[in-house]
Amino acid sequence: MKEKSNQKVKLSLDSKIGTFYASPIGHDTIFKVLMQLGLSEKLITNKLVSNMKLKTLARFTKKQLGEDFFQVLLRLVNSEEDVPFVSRGEITQKWWKEAVFYQIYPRSFHDTNGDGIGDLRGIIEKLDYLQELGVTALWLSPIYDSPNDDNGYDIRDYHKIMKEFGTMEDFDELLSEVHNRGMRLIMDLVVNHTSDEHEWFQSALKDKNSPYRDYYFFSKEPNNWTSFFSGSAWNHYEEEDIYALHLFSKKQMDLNWDNEKVRADVIKMVNWWLSKGVDGFRMDVINYISKEAGLPMGNEVIGNMMGFTGIENYYYGPNLHKYLRQVRAEAFDKYDAFSVGETPGLGMNMCQLITGEERKELDMVFSFDHLETPGHVRFDDYEYDLNYYREYIVDWMENYGNNCWMSLFYNNHDNPRMISKITTDKAYHTAIAKLLAVMQFTLKGTPFIFQGDEMGLINYEFSSVDEITDVEAKGYYKELLEKGKTKEEAFKTLLAGTREHCRVLLPWEEILETASDIVKSQAPDKEIHETYKRLIALRKEDKTLVYGDFMLLSNKKDRFVYKRSLDGREYIVDCNLGKKVRKAYSVEKGFELAYESGKFELKSKLNSYEARIWVKQV
Ligand code: TEU
Ligand code: CA
């Protein structure tokens, strides 16, 4: 259990590095920088450095880090007065802690009218399939009216259904069909930005006296912030010779949450959907909504480290908690609705300060630090080491606290498929798929299956850059060519990390013998499907795998053994995280085999990526 300092004290350059690192935000920021650079935290926690004053380190590193670096970190650290409360007590029972979520990316889920685009009727048709799998709750990526510059994450009208997906009547039918099956449905709330085609932005652009002008960030001069989708984070509008901020695509214009009218309009819209019976929301890049006053220039060193200049000015902004509390109090709490925030870049302490149930902000968050190993970004071509996943998840299992609740996922619509990140050797894919499922359904937290996980889908074998349509990838490809990469090099880099891998239409139809190898590589794996069904059922059988205590039993290389226990019932989960056959964990008397992913006759050994689950009845 890490020591937590009392944050009330304002830190300064005279503070010791150890004190800085013991503060909640100091820990998260430094931990993130070290991870991004692939450096060990021992660099900071060793006696010599941790007793050093910040100003000494600032002097030593002035050349590399510059004057401003530590001032920025101090501003971030001192902006957070609170310290996370970490409970070891009783866990409040909630439906969303017992749920098994399934993320649907409607555009590529199931097409029923032959236009090659998934639609709401396609989801309705697959509800029995999902219920039979054991799924209890759905998260739909955006289905609102959109020009689809970022596939629906650029919303033009929050009260209309995207025409490619169907009508509001289709949605109403979908929602009632989901509820008829005792399942729940959450939508994607994208309110850090709107489409530039939204009437608010159109009005603001046409008339500087528009009531919507202050709904966005207009400026006579751009700052140096860069977009997540390459290039400057500012559009220039010739007519008025004015700039407007967009952290994402040029058609996704950032909303100014400091404007109380923006908050009021967002809250009104959220209530409109909740009054229709929607069970909650996943909240897109919700930690970005509060920007540092005056939109200060980004620190170039931090920008280079994090890959995006300016990020320190909005990823954990000064009014974030205030705004989250307001949305919860004026919308979610009125319907007892569920909220899960997408919070890229936040560390454990920041997440505790957002999800602690006493904080009355969000119920859960998606943090992403487990999706790449230290020193890697999504577009790096490397083999993902599951030993890092074990280190990451054990830290959260042991330190997140019982007043907070984890989300457990390996894939979503923004990342390549995890199986392919671990190895491209197809011989191991089925075993790895089952291993991931074993951990996802037996660790402590809510599992979020991404569509196709249960089929064992891997990355798609694109043969040309023309097949890649994602706005992020297209911007990055152009950037790589401008940096002097050849077309082949740029395409290869894209293949390592493009979001397109997980946005290919799911292979529902029978894969014909005559199909191409590429299509065959996407064939659903029945064995994996059965594994998901079995493990979801096991998790539902009793609440031990939901609310039970977590205890690490072994974390030797390529080994991950842990126990879940509740009211005397115990499960031991024994995982081989590598290719080599390894010694299995020898369970005590009274345990019986509840599940095994391989057919290894030698119970004293675990085959490549094999996992076993043992249970001891009361
Ligand atoms: O994603 C934001 C996000 O976390 C990623 O875009 C990440 O910040 C970026 O790839 C840098 O690594 C959300 C949605 O999930 C994504 O689909 C949208 O494109 C984005 O926000 C904008 O709405
Ligand atoms: Ca369609």
**Is the whole model's pTM more than 0.85, yes or no?**
yes
202: amino acid identity, one letter: Q
Are the CB atoms for 358 and 405 separated by under 8 Å? no
Provide the b/e sequence for 600-616 (b: ≥16 CB within 10 Å). beeeeebbbbbbbbbbb
Ion ligand 2: protein residues whose beta carbon lies under 5 Å:
111, 113, 115, 117, 119
pLDDT in tens, 485-527: 999 999 999 999 999 999 999 999 878 888 888 888 888 999 9
Catalytic entry in 149, 164, 254, 342: 342
- State the pLDDT at residue 3: 43
Rounded CA-CA distance 512/96 in Å is 39
Catalytic entry in 284, 312, 453, 500: 284
Q: What ligand is nearest to the CA atom of residue 110?
A: 2
Rounded CA-CA distance 154/145 in Å is 9
Ligand 2 center–CA 110 separation, angstroms: 7
Helix 260-275 to helix 320-327 angle (10° resolution) is 40
DSSP H stretches of helix in 88-219: 95-98, 120-125, 127-133, 168-180, 199-206
Helix 487-497 to helix 471-482 angle (10° resolution) is 140
Q: Which of 228, 286, 316 to mutate to test the pocket of ligand 1 (most atoms within 8 A of CB)?
A: 228
Are the CB atoms for 328 and 354 separated by under 8 Å? no
E-strand spans in 501-617? 549-554, 559-566, 569-576, 582-583, 592-596, 605-606, 611-616
Roughly how many angstroms between the first and final C-alpha of the chain, as a whole number?
Answer: 30
Q: What ligand is nearest to the CA atom of residue 123?
A: 2
Q: What ligand is nearest to the CA atom of residue 111?
A: 2
Task: Count the helix, strand and coil residues of the chain and give each as a percent rounded to the nearest 5.
Answer: 40, 15, 45
Helix, strand, or coil (residue 569): strand
| Residue of the CA atom closest to atom 11 of ligand 1 | 228
- State the pLDDT at residue 2: 44
- State the pLDDT at residue 1: 40
Q: Which residues of the chain are modeled with pLDDT < 70? A: 1-8
284 an active-site residue? yes
Ligand 2 center–CA 113 separation, angstroms: 5
- List ligand 1's pocket residues with C-beta within 6 A: 150, 153, 190, 228, 248, 284-285, 342, 344, 378, 413-414, 472
Q: Which atom of ligand 1 is nearest to the CA of 154?
A: 23
- State the pLDDT at residue 8: 67
* Strand-pair category, 137-140 with 184-189: parallel
Tokens of 429: 């894919």
Tokens of 155: 């919303």
Q: Which atom of ligand 1 is nearest to the CA of 153?
A: 23
